[in-house]
Amino acid sequence: MSITRRMTEMDPNPFGLSAAGHRCFHWGEFLQDPAMLWDGLDGQTIYFHGPCFLDWMPRGMRDALELKYAGHPCQEQVA
């Protein structure tokens, strides 16, 4: 038995997760699979269309860098 399968033989959702019925965090429209999800530390999950996630990713990285360097002198920050 081969461990590789053709795409047509694969399960449409092998992880058992689905965004169907959830709203996109960015646009508010109902989603269908495939979609992106972001699972927060507080247990809250937000869902995105793929292109919406790409719009939010740079914002999240910027916010993460702001938190990383909060209270540090400017010379320690990355340009």
pTM here? 0.58
What's the number of domains the chain is made of? 1
Per-residue model confidence (pLDDT) at position 30: 93
Q: Is residue 44 part of a domain?
A: yes
Range of the domain at 27: 16-70
Q: Is residue 37 part of a domain?
A: yes
Q: Is residue 43 part of a domain?
A: yes
Residues of the chain with pLDDT under 70: 1-15, 73-79
Token code pair at residue 5: 């399968």
Per-residue model confidence (pLDDT) at position 68: 86
- Cβ(56)–Cβ(45) below 8 Å: no
Q: Is residue 7 part of a domain?
A: no
Q: Is residue 24 part of a domain?
A: yes
Per-residue model confidence (pLDDT) at position 71: 73
Per-residue model confidence (pLDDT) at position 76: 56
**pLDDT tens for each residue of 3-12:** 554 545 555 6
Rounded to whole angstroms, the Cα distance separating 30 from 14 reads 21
